[in-house]
Structure 1
Amino acid sequence: MNKIAIVILNWNGGELLRTFLPSIIQYSPQATLYVADNASTDNSIAIVQQEFPTVKIIQNKANYGFAKGYNEALKFVEEPIWALVNSDVEVTENWLTPIAELFESDENIAIVQPKILDFKNKSAFEYAGAAGGFLDKYGFPFCRGRVFTSVEKDNGQFDDISDIFWASGACFFIRKQVFWEKNGFDEDFFAHQEEIDLCWRVNSKDYSIKYCGYSKVYHVGGATLQVENPKKTFLNFRNSLWMLTKNLPKEKLFIILFSRLVLDGLAGVRFFFQGHFSHVWAILKAHFYFYKNLRKNLRKRKKSNLKHYYKINSVIYSYFIKGKKTFAELF
């Protein structure tokens, strides 16, 4: 267990640290705790120094966002397994034990995600990750326990250990060796879907990604950037296109990207008729950045050794046309 480092990325989240660090300290006695601070302008550093003196502090020189913020901070973390945890996550007793045992059982396990429940409604899964993530053919993410905005109650249906395609950036564990072997997070993403991009690069014949339902955490979600914020819409749409450009198999690249551009346009039309004009602009801006950086992202492509990156053909069709709202109904 002392081989695990818990690294919490923070930016102006002093009150979140004050609220959520106590549970992590209480239930992680054998792990080393770090707060990686993205040049906060509030009293975050003072709070950690004065109220949580056992927590180590790594100070980044600027607000680098999620991707570069972690890349910079993790250069100073020596433990072989890292738990990357949002500042708005509450952990539970013995949450580290089943994760550590899973890593010890198979050296090819590269990433593990615990069960992520809603801090505000602890009987339900949380949007950002739930019980582990997958992609459909068009690169749309969904989770066991959450499909689009439909979130399931936790009735023990995902109390298992299972293969997943991506783990949530809200809380996941990764081997240090694998993180650097895959060159860490793509810093161009800044924030949102960089963990899916990393997981796509990690998924291979050599490594697996697991969900462990015997480890449980509670996530507030949206504490730093709420879903209604058009900036979040921009980052999600832009980064999704970037991720697909980088990682799709060559034979699928053009048709899937073209399909996504059409589907993104339909999403923009939907926002327009809902009166969410700032989100329409966010999608247009995301597409502008996609074209502007197309050559750059094409140069990042690596040969994929994945036969299938997707779980189902179209989660949009299943959800909006067929009315399938739960993970089990999709299959």
Structure 2
Amino acid sequence: MADVSVVILNYNGEKLLQKFLPSVVKYSAEATVWVADNGSTDASVSLLEREFPSVRVVTLDRNYGFCRGYNEALRRIKADVYVLLNSDVMVTQDWLVPILRLLESRDDIDAVQPKILSYKEPEKFEYAGAGGGLLDPLGYPFCRGRILNRIEYDHGQYDDEREVFWSSGACMAIRASTYWTHGGLDEDFFAHMEEIDLCWKIQRAGKKVFYTGTSVVYHLGAGTLNYASPRKTFLNFRNNMTVLLKHLDGGEMWWKIPLRIGLDWLAAFSFLLSGKPAHCVAVFKAHAAVTSGLSAILRRRRALRTAYPRYSRKNIYRGLMLLKYFFGRRNDYLKPQ
């Protein structure tokens, strides 16, 4: 049996740990539970020592952000499988069983995500991951069960097991060897969309990312960075463009990048018209950050394409996410039954 470590990255999350860690300890008998403390200044570490003696702790000297924080912590943890789990996730009985079954029975699967439902509205999917991540031809990420801010009710429509494009970083099991083969999470991202970059690398290497609807967790969401934060908007727009610059083939770059720039600017002006000027500014700051860091991004692109020259379009969604959102037939799963 594989040596499995569930690893929760924590930064000043004392209250979240107190609320959500008990379910992880109770229902993760197949794994060693770790908390990697990312330089917290609250009482997180003393809480762990006092109330969760079975949980192992990695203490980092400062807040390294999500990506580097995980990389620093996982270097100190020996395991065959890492399960990256947000501190605001409640797990359920036997949640690890179907995830580990897929990894142990299929050598071609390198990462697995469970069904992620909303902790606040458990009858609905949760924004970050839902029923498995997809990517459209223009590089817009979305999920089965969630397109932009439109979120479906869970009626068992995604209780399947299938290949997806990306697994949510809120709850992702990944082979440790795969994680380090691809250099861990790209630390230049800091946070957000780093899991899409990693899952794209997995597919470039000829392996698969899977979703299983037979494992269920409940995610609070925005536990460390609110969905309405301009900082989150900045990271999402900057990192989405960075992912595309790293991974798109040369023949796609010349038209998809200019088109995406134009669409991002439309999104910025939409923010402005809807009374969210800080989010409008965040989009332009994101593009400025990509421009200033372009040489480094292109170096990573060259290294990636040297190792894995092409990627399969098999798991790219056949259709445009924006058209589906604005003009597609309304999904029956958007209303309760």
Give the TM-score category using the shorter length: over 0.9
| Higher alpha-carbon deviation: 254-263 or 204-213 | 204-213
Query: Letter of the aligned partner of 2:324 in structure 1?
Result: S
After TM superposition, the structure 1 = structure 2 runs for residues 234-253 of structure 1, keeping only pairs within 5 Å, are 234-253=234-253
After TM superposition, the structure 1 = structure 2 runs for residues 261-280 of structure 1, keeping only pairs within 5 Å, are 261-280=261-280
Give the counterpart of 2:312 among 307, 311, 324. 307
* Residue 310 of structure 1: how far off its partner (Å): 2.0
Counterpart for residue 111 of structure 2? 111
**Distance in 1 of aligned mates of 2:169 and 2:62:** 20
Asked if 1 retains the 8 angstrom alpha-carbon contact of 2:12 and 2:40, the reply is yes
| Higher alpha-carbon deviation: 305-314 or 206-215 | 305-314
**Distance in 1 of aligned mates of 2:199 and 2:29:** 28
SS at match of 2:290: helix
* Residue 324 of structure 1: how far off its partner (Å): 4.8
Counterpart for residue 43 of structure 1? 43
Query: Letter of the aligned partner of 1:312 in structure 2?
Result: R
Counterpart for residue 95 of structure 1? 95
* Residue 137 of structure 1: how far off its partner (Å): 1.0
**Distance in 2 of aligned mates of 1:21 and 1:218:** 12
After TM superposition, the structure 1 = structure 2 runs for residues 120-131 of structure 1, keeping only pairs within 5 Å, are 120-131=120-131
Q: Unmatched 5+ residue regions in structure 2?
A: none
Counterpart for residue 206 of structure 2? 206
Asked if 1 retains the 8 angstrom alpha-carbon contact of 2:203 and 2:312, the reply is no
After TM superposition, the structure 1 = structure 2 runs for residues 10-25 of structure 1, keeping only pairs within 5 Å, are 10-25=10-25
**Distance in 2 of aligned mates of 1:201 and 1:174:** 13
**Distance in 2 of aligned mates of 1:324 and 1:200:** 29
Counterpart for residue 31 of structure 2? 31
* Residue 46 of structure 1: how far off its partner (Å): 0.4
* Residue 204 of structure 1: how far off its partner (Å): 3.2
**Distance in 1 of aligned mates of 2:196 and 2:263:** 20
Q: Deviations over 1:104-125 (max 9, x none)?
A: 1111210000000000111111
**Distance in 1 of aligned mates of 2:49 and 2:250:** 50
Q: Unmatched 5+ residue regions in structure 1?
A: none
SS at match of 1:122: coil
SS at match of 2:75: helix
Q: Deviations over 1:50-85 (max 9, x none)?
A: 100111110112111110000000001111001100
After TM superposition, the structure 1 = structure 2 runs for residues 67-78 of structure 1, keeping only pairs within 5 Å, are 67-78=67-78
Q: Give the direction of change, closer, same or farther, for the CA distance of 1:259–1:59 in structure 2 (3 Å limit).
A: same
Counterpart for residue 178 of structure 1? 178
TM-score normalized with structure 2 length:
0.94
Counterpart for residue 317 of structure 1? 323
**Distance in 2 of aligned mates of 1:15 and 1:235:** 25
* Residue 251 of structure 1: how far off its partner (Å): 1.1
Query: Letter of the aligned partner of 1:315 in structure 2?
Result: M
SS at match of 2:196: helix
| Higher alpha-carbon deviation: 138-147 or 197-206 | 197-206
Q: Deviations over 1:206-247 (max 9, x none)?
A: 310100111100000011111111000000000001111011
Query: Letter of the aligned partner of 1:132 in structure 2?
Result: G
**Distance in 1 of aligned mates of 2:191 and 2:275:** 26
SS at match of 2:168: coil
Counterpart for residue 291 of structure 2? 291
SS at match of 2:104: helix
Q: Deviations over 1:287-319 (max 9, x none)?
A: 100110111101111224213162134111221
> How many residue pairs end up in the alignment?
328
**Distance in 1 of aligned mates of 2:107 and 2:310:** 20
Confirm or deny that 1:216 pairs with 2:216: yes
SS at match of 1:121: coil
After TM superposition, the structure 1 = structure 2 runs for residues 121-160 of structure 1, keeping only pairs within 5 Å, are 121-160=121-160
Query: Letter of the aligned partner of 1:225 in structure 2?
Result: L
SS at match of 1:173: strand
Q: Deviations over 1:273-297 (max 9, x none)?
A: 1111100110110010011011110
**Distance in 2 of aligned mates of 1:230 and 1:324:** 29
**Distance in 1 of aligned mates of 2:288 and 2:331:** 32
**Distance in 2 of aligned mates of 1:184 and 1:2:** 20
Asked if 1 retains the 8 angstrom alpha-carbon contact of 2:38 and 2:62, the reply is yes
**Distance in 1 of aligned mates of 2:184 and 2:5:** 16
